[in-house]
Chain A
Amino acid sequence: MTEVNRVLAGLGLAAAISTGILMPQMAVAADDTIKVGILHSLSGTMAISETTLKDTMLFLIDQQNKKGGLLGKKLEAVVVDPASDWPTFAEKARELISVDKVAAVFGCWTSSSRKSVLPVFEELNSLLFYPVQYEGEESSRNIIYTGAAPNQQAIPAVDYLMKTEGVKRFVLEGTDYVYPRTTNKILEAYLESKGIAKEDILINYTPFGFSDWQTEVSKIKTFGSAGKKTAVVSTINGDANVPFYKELGNQGLKATDIPVIAFSVGEEELAGLDTKPLVGHLAAWNYFESIDTPANKKFISAWHTFIKNDKRVTNDPMEAAYIGFNAWVKAVEAAGSTDTDKVIDSIVGVSVPNLSGGYATVMPNHHITKPVLIGEIQGNGQFDIVQQTASVVGDEWSDFLPDSAPLISDWRKPMACGNFNTKTGLCGGTTKAVAAK
């Protein structure tokens, strides 16, 4: 019996030891990683743009893990597909935060998708990094906007047109949704404040995925034949761009006659086009692949190695994702925790290098500082940078819209308000501030 007992006891001990060892191991396995949510459409109409950002995030997480992870833990990406459907964005965001318990989410492209997930992030108190240029008029405690606000893209772009190209007449051509409409409203107010007459501004909208540009392009030509130098400011988005540029090329509208400056056309969009007839047309961004800095060269070559394709281009939202991710890493390191409240407190003022040789700082309004670059399209599908400004602070509430001019945002304590009205001295601002959906 003693023999049996001893064996049993041994077994018990072994069991105790093994569970004792295993249990913490399991706990460690769960505790050993920090989960990061990636919320980009991998199917549907937006997949064309967002799939690249998903790959970029995986690339950045992979690089961070090679450097030893974060707070001694490995990062683990949780990828979900909201399928270009705005309600699905909210649903998937909720899933990432409540079920997967991610520390932060990187995602969204269209303003519609951001507006759809915003209440979820505020309700569940999590953190979203939004990497795309947008129309402004928003500042949430739970979102860090690493893309350009209108004053970091649209306004410097028309300044360039007026100053360097001597443009006196503007066509504001856009796709019919919230970003172009708000941006054009701001631009119209700005141009009028600069002395451009109302009859010298033509605003025109086309539906999503518009493909028959014959009439529109000939309308632009007619508007441009009034004897004043004319330019087109394009907020045309997504699929509609390729047929637009093809029509421009075929109708022989040269950049030296009527230049087109675009806010949504980057290296990715030009990859599907023969750019030889388009040389000299412009784009305004905060990053171009052709930036000649050691940091950018290193980024591009690392990206090519990761994606195993040296033809893949880089673009502005990728740089914004890069800045956002690094800012989050730095803020987490400073806070010593991935807790949302602690990270939100520590992220304001965090400075990380950007790819154009400077630094991007997260401001109290949860927007970042960015230089503004104007590029001209070249025959090889790249941009030549023809102007670069110093860093500009993102202005969330436009100074050129009467309702939002008195509003400011400062998420530092004790103010901690996204729409403080400097006239009334109240947080809550105005309910009328551009009903951006």
Chain B
Amino acid sequence: MPSFRLLPIALLLFGICFGFAAPAFAQASNIADLVNALGVGGFPEREAAIKALVDSHDPHVNEILQELNDGRLFVSSDGGRVYLQGGTADAPTYADPITGAVAADVDPDTMGKVKINNAVRTLLSSAMSQLTLRSPDRAARLAAARDLLKDADPANLALLDTALAAETDATVKSTMEAARAVIMLKTSASDADKKAAIDTIAARGNKDALTILTTALASAPADLKPAVQADIDAITRNLQVWDVAQNVWYGLSLGSVLLLAAIGLAITFGVMGVINMAHGEMVMLGAYTTYVVQETVRSVAPGLLDYSLAFAVPAAFLFTALVGVAIERGIIRWLYGRPLETLLATWGLSLILQQAIRTVFGPTNRQVINPTWMSGSFDFGGLAITQNRLWIVVFAIVVFVILQLVLNRTSLGLQMRAVTQNRRMASAMGIRTPFVDAMTFGLGSGIAGMAGVALSQIDNVSPNLGQNYIIDSFMVVVFGGVGNLWGTLVGALTLGVANKFLEPYAGAVLGKILILVFIILFIQRRPRGLFALKGRAVEQ
């Protein structure tokens, strides 16, 4: 009876087939329901729906979670069906999120976005990181490992272990090990394992490690507590050292902003002796030029948008230099030797320029985008350095060097210095002093315009932009020594660093007051600033 003997095997085979086929079948019908469940109820229901979706292990899950995170999933107000929004903002299309088939009969007015809040967002990033932990893309793996480190759910331990075994990249691996260590601390692992985990975390030695250890301290087993506390103290000491370095960096970065804002003034005020209250407005015009250039690039060559700043720098220089020459020829040259009138006239001019910009561009801020190469930050040892600040420091140095070269290596620079030191003698030697005056004022204004390009990256592009910097600029120039660019450099960096060292202790408001008081006292002692200019004209 061979057939009878085969029967159990046949039944077994049948059972296996059925056993495999049934969940697969259920999965196929369920996924649509699971996606539609995302649109039902409030945030807690949404969190449950996401968890159910993740548990289904459907290949579409990651895609759908990403779309939900990006806010592209919409739900119809009537039937509770979830669609994927595509097309343009004016003419949206709605498609099935799984099949991608566009639904033609959907009225955009009845569609509501499937909203998420921060709690759902956290859950989403942790769910997506579970799914991307073994992605072939290194950046995706690193992001996933960081998310797991932040979230540290013991349920992910097995997942993490498999990923760790396969991981080859050192940075990703160390992040994963840290995440694993944090999870170990949360589980009921043996004290030895926990000790190893604490060592792994402490070895990272940064602020995140400090946070993790401080949290772990409360729940750590009694015999491990001293070790954790020792690690916390060690990291704190280490961070204090880095804090000093961080403050120096912040100070240099503030100093470079001050330098950029003040260096043009160092020429117009320092070299020419013109109290130019409209200097800040030159900075503002530079920032608006950046905006105009950006919008032009956006409409002409959108692909170059990331590099629009490269076009903005010369454009801002030329435009503000022209405005500067016009101001010098139109107003200031009539007022040489009358500082009070110059002050009032340029103050009035600054108001006129502000209101003109307000009339042309409107009173609200304009958006100048940060190019991708200037966004974000990176860690350098214990320092967190933001890209845009780094580039501004570099830019300030370049501008300073070029300006020094212009003043010391060109004939225009030579004439400028000659006119500054002794106007009448220079004139007697055949230098056209009015021309040199106009060029000098133009140069100073042009540099202020370039400062505006840099400031558009960190500050408001609004008609008031310049006002925030005018007082600081005068402070730097007076402190550094009138008529001396090195003085301006040292003055700006000193004030920047001093400000940033005072700020953590005295607070921003008091810090600023202390700096002002210090400068007043300093000027009493050394009326000519740090680096006094020597020359006959100075005595006048």
The answer to whether A and B belong to the same complex is: yes
Closest chain A residue, CB of each to CB of B461: A272
Closest chain B residue, CB of each to CB of A44: B464
Choose one: B116, B118, B508; the contact of A259 (CB below 8 Å): B118
Contacts A221-B207, A255-B121, A256-B125 known; A384 to B468 CB distance under 8 Å? Answer: no
Contact between chains at A280 and B121 (CB < 8 Å): yes
Q: A159 at interface (Cβ–Cβ under 8 A)?
A: no
Q: Report chain B residues within 8 Å CB of A271.
A: 364-365, 367
Q: Report chain A residues within 8 Å CB of B218.
A: 227
Contact between chains at A251 and B377 (CB < 8 Å): yes
User: Taking the nearest CB of chain A, how far is it from the CB of B17, in angstroms?
Assistant: 45
Choose one: B122, B247, B376, B512; the contact of A207 (CB below 8 Å): B512
Contact between chains at B464 and A257 (CB < 8 Å): no
* Distance of A326 Cα from B358 Cα, bound (Å): 30
* Distance of A159 Cα from B351 Cα, bound (Å): 44
Q: B187 at interface (Cβ–Cβ under 8 A)?
A: no
Q: Report chain A residues within 8 Å CB of B211.
A: 224-227
Counting chain B CB atoms within 10 Å of each CB, the highest count among A242, A247, A256 belongs to: A256
Q: B427 at interface (Cβ–Cβ under 8 A)?
A: no
Contact between chains at A386 and B117 (CB < 8 Å): yes
Contact between chains at B367 and A272 (CB < 8 Å): yes
Q: Report chain A residues within 8 Å CB of B299.
A: none
Cβ contacts A366-399/B at 8 Å (1 or 0 each): 0000000000101100001110000000000000
Q: B463 at interface (Cβ–Cβ under 8 A)?
A: yes
Q: Report chain A residues within 8 Å CB of B134.
A: none
Q: Contacting chain A: which of B79-87, B153-161, B249-257, B529-537?
A: B249-257
Q: A264 at interface (Cβ–Cβ under 8 A)?
A: no
User: Taking the nearest CB of chain B, how far is it from the CB of A116, in angstroms?
Assistant: 20
Choose one: A205, A224, A251, A384; the contact of B384 (CB below 8 Å): A251
Contacts A206-B509, A271-B364 known; A256 to B122 CB distance under 8 Å? Answer: yes
Choose one: A47, A205, A207, A242; the contact of B460 (CB below 8 Å): A242
Contact between chains at A212 and B125 (CB < 8 Å): no
Closest chain B residue, CB of each to CB of A387: B117
Contact between chains at A250 and B376 (CB < 8 Å): yes
Q: B113 at interface (Cβ–Cβ under 8 A)?
A: yes
Q: B162 at interface (Cβ–Cβ under 8 A)?
A: no
Contact between chains at B370 and A274 (CB < 8 Å): yes
Q: Report chain B residues within 8 Å CB of A246.
A: 370, 388, 457-458
Q: B215 at interface (Cβ–Cβ under 8 A)?
A: yes
Q: A298 at interface (Cβ–Cβ under 8 A)?
A: no
Contact between chains at A48 and B118 (CB < 8 Å): no
Q: Report chain B residues within 8 Å CB of A277.
A: 375
Contact between chains at B367 and A215 (CB < 8 Å): no
Contacts A48-B365, A256-B121, A268-B364 known; A227 to B215 CB distance under 8 Å? Answer: yes
A:325-347 near B, CB below 8 Å: none
Contacts A242-B365, A272-B460 known; A226 to B214 CB distance under 8 Å? Answer: yes
* Distance of A227 Cα from B377 Cα, bound (Å): 23
Contact between chains at B468 and A239 (CB < 8 Å): yes
User: Taking the nearest CB of chain A, how far is it from the CB of B408, in angstroms?
Assistant: 31
Q: A62 at interface (Cβ–Cβ under 8 A)?
A: no
Q: Report chain A residues within 8 Å CB of B376.
A: 250, 252
Q: Report chain A residues within 8 Å CB of B512.
A: 207
Contacts A242-B365, A251-B386 known; A384 to B113 CB distance under 8 Å? Answer: yes
Q: B473 at interface (Cβ–Cβ under 8 A)?
A: no
Q: B504 at interface (Cβ–Cβ under 8 A)?
A: yes
A:34-70 near B, CB below 8 Å: 42-45, 47-48, 51-52
* Distance of A224 Cα from B211 Cα, bound (Å): 8
Closest chain A residue, CB of each to CB of B358: A47
User: Taking the nearest CB of chain A, how far is it from the CB of B140, in angstroms?
Assistant: 17
Q: A209 at interface (Cβ–Cβ under 8 A)?
A: yes
Q: Report chain A residues within 8 Å CB of B351.
A: 43
Closest chain B residue, CB of each to CB of A225: B211
* Distance of A384 Cα from B512 Cα, bound (Å): 38
* Distance of A398 Cα from B207 Cα, bound (Å): 39
Cβ contacts B353-380/A at 8 Å (1 or 0 each): 0110010001111110110000111000
Interface secondary structure of B, over-half rule: helix
Cβ contacts A138-154/B at 8 Å (1 or 0 each): 00000000000000000
B:448-505 near A, CB below 8 Å: 457-464, 467-468, 499-500, 503-504
Cβ contacts A252-278/B at 8 Å (1 or 0 each): 100111010000000011011110010
Contact between chains at B458 and A211 (CB < 8 Å): yes
Q: Report chain A residues within 8 Å CB of B112.
A: 292
Q: B119 at interface (Cβ–Cβ under 8 A)?
A: yes
Contact between chains at B364 and A272 (CB < 8 Å): yes
Q: B141 at interface (Cβ–Cβ under 8 A)?
A: no
Contact between chains at A215 and B250 (CB < 8 Å): yes
Contact between chains at A257 and B458 (CB < 8 Å): no
Q: Report chain B residues within 8 Å CB of A85.
A: none
Cβ contacts A70-110/B at 8 Å (1 or 0 each): 00000000000000000000000000000000000000000
Q: Report chain A residues within 8 Å CB of B118.
A: 165, 255-256, 259, 280, 376
User: Taking the nearest CB of chain A, how far is it from the CB of B70, in angstroms?
Assistant: 8
Contact between chains at B214 and A272 (CB < 8 Å): no
User: Taking the nearest CB of chain B, how far is it from the CB of A242, in angstroms?
Assistant: 4
Q: A430 at interface (Cβ–Cβ under 8 A)?
A: no
B:48-76 near A, CB below 8 Å: 71
Q: A222 at interface (Cβ–Cβ under 8 A)?
A: yes
* Distance of A263 Cα from B388 Cα, bound (Å): 27
Q: Report chain B residues within 8 Å CB of A176.
A: 509
Contacts A209-B464, A246-B458, A272-B461 known; A214 to B250 CB distance under 8 Å? Answer: yes
Q: B180 at interface (Cβ–Cβ under 8 A)?
A: no
Q: Report chain A residues within 8 Å CB of B117.
A: 164, 280, 376, 386
Q: B389 at interface (Cβ–Cβ under 8 A)?
A: yes
User: Taking the nearest CB of chain A, how far is it from the CB of B250, in angstroms?
Assistant: 4
Q: Report chain B residues within 8 Å CB of A257.
A: 150
Q: B507 at interface (Cβ–Cβ under 8 A)?
A: yes
Q: Report chain A residues within 8 Å CB of B463.
A: 47-48
Counting chain B CB atoms within 10 Å of each CB, the highest count among A227, A379, A384 belongs to: A227
User: Taking the nearest CB of chain A, how far is it from the CB of B200, in angstroms?
Assistant: 18
Cβ contacts B69-110/A at 8 Å (1 or 0 each): 001000000000000000000000000000000000000000
Q: A243 at interface (Cβ–Cβ under 8 A)?
A: yes
* Distance of A379 Cα from B457 Cα, bound (Å): 19
Closest chain B residue, CB of each to CB of A41: B363
* Distance of A138 Cα from B125 Cα, bound (Å): 46
Counting chain B CB atoms within 10 Å of each CB, the highest count among A207, A255, A259 belongs to: A207
Contact between chains at A239 and B462 (CB < 8 Å): yes
Q: B115 at interface (Cβ–Cβ under 8 A)?
A: yes
Contact between chains at B504 and A219 (CB < 8 Å): yes
* Distance of A218 Cα from B71 Cα, bound (Å): 30
Q: Report chain B residues within 8 Å CB of A216.
A: 503, 508
* Distance of A315 Cα from B345 Cα, bound (Å): 38
Q: Report chain A residues within 8 Å CB of B384.
A: 218, 251
Contact between chains at A206 and B210 (CB < 8 Å): no
* Distance of A222 Cα from B252 Cα, bound (Å): 21
B:188-225 near A, CB below 8 Å: 207-208, 210-211, 214-215, 217-218
Q: Report chain A residues within 8 Å CB of B115.
A: 384-386
Contact between chains at A222 and B508 (CB < 8 Å): no
Q: Report chain B residues within 8 Å CB of A256.
A: 118, 121-122, 125
* Distance of A239 Cα from B461 Cα, bound (Å): 10
Contacts A43-B358, A218-B246 known; A272 to B387 CB distance under 8 Å? Answer: no
B:416-473 near A, CB below 8 Å: 457-464, 467-468
Nearest 5 Cβ contacts at the A-B interface: A272-B365, A227-B215, A225-B211, A227-B214, A250-B386
21 A-B pairs (CB sep. < 8 Å):
A42-B363, A48-B365, A48-B463, A51-B363, A205-B507, A206-B508, A209-B467, A211-B458, A212-B257, A214-B389, A225-B214, A226-B211, A246-B458, A252-B377, A255-B121, A256-B121, A256-B122, A256-B125, A273-B367, A274-B370, A292-B112
**Given pairs A214-B386, A215-B247, A239-B468, 5 additional interface contacts (CB within 8 A):** A48-B363, A206-B508, A242-B365, A271-B365, A273-B365
